[in-house]
């Protein structure tokens, strides 16, 4: 027996958070009865319906994509723009784990595993994300320390991060900065640099936990193997 929202998420239908919203709105039925309580447990023999759809169990699939610039980090887009899901050749209903901005490139996981998605995106689980930012200006040690100790964005201080200057280019007056964070707030990296007076020109997420996209060209993806999936679960629950 498992909680209803977990079963829905594990089926690949949607994330656990969204499943909880659907239950609370009375859009989920178990054996023909509307269920609104999040603590309800169901078995594999129970029939679950979401709206008019009978929930079907799917095999879990996991992809690592090197997201190009100009692609939407979503399963669909009402403006008919190309999304990250459009780049993956699969018959499964997958969605991105978290998001990258339209003009941000790099590592993005896509899956139909709602439980793993919830674990990887929850800030308490401290999943490291490594970004490489090209910024206007030559950043000094004082600014590096400010970023590392946390800056206030949107009225709330960011958690501590790891910051390293990779190189300077005095001719173009730019800096290449490596930044490791575990939060996932909206436009966080850009806002962090903005808070110390620097504009991000280019941004790439090079790594999520132990997964990097160094061997993937822009727009390329690969399937994660079972050992990698198991390690992601371990990293998110340790």
Burial 102-127 (b: 16+ CB within 10 A, else e): eebbbbbbbbbbbbbbbbbbeeeeeb
CA angle 157, 233, 208 (to 5 degrees): 50
Catalytic residue at 86?
A: no
- Sequence-ordered list of residues with C-beta below 8 angstroms from that of 228, at least 6 positions apart, any chain: 62, 210, 211
Among 101, 103, 169, 215, the one annotated catalytic: 101
d(CA 149, CA 188): 15
- Phi, psi (rounded to 5 degrees) for 103: -100, 10
Q: What residues form DSSP beta bridges with 129?
A: 181, 208
Write out the H or E segment, with its range, that includes residue 9: helix 4-10
**Strand 200-208 and strand 105-111: pairing?**
parallel
Active-site positions read 101
């Amino acid at each position: 027996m498992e909680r209803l929202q977990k079963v829905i998420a594990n089926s690949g239908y949607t994330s656990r958070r969204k499943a909880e919203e659907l239950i609370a709105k009375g859009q989920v039925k178990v054996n023909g009865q509307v269920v609104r309580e999040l603590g309800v447990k169901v078995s594999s023999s129970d029939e679950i319906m979401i709206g008019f759809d009978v929930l079907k169990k799917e095999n879990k699939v996991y992809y690592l994509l090197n997201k190009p610039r100009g692609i939407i980090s979503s399963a669909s887009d009402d403006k008919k723009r190309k999304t990250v899901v459009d780049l993956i050749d699969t018959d499964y209903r997958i969605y991105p784990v978290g998001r990258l901005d339209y003009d941000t490139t790099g590592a993005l996981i896509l899956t139909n595993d709602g439980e793993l998605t919830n674990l990887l995106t929850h800030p308490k689980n401290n999943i490291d994300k490594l970004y490489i930012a090209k910024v206007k200006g030559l950043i000094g040690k004082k600014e590096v320390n400010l970023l590392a100790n946390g800056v206030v964005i949107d009225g709330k201080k960011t958690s501590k991060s790891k910051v390293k200057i990779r190189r300077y280019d005095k001719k173009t007056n730019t800096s290449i900065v490596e930044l490791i964070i575990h939060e996932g707030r909206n436009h966080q990296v850009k806002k962090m640099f903005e808070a110390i007076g620097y504009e991000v020109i280019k941004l790439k997420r090079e790594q999520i936990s132990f997964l990097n996209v160094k061997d993937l060209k822009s727009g390329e993806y690969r399937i994660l193997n079972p050992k990698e999936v198991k390690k992601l679960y371990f990293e998110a629950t340790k």
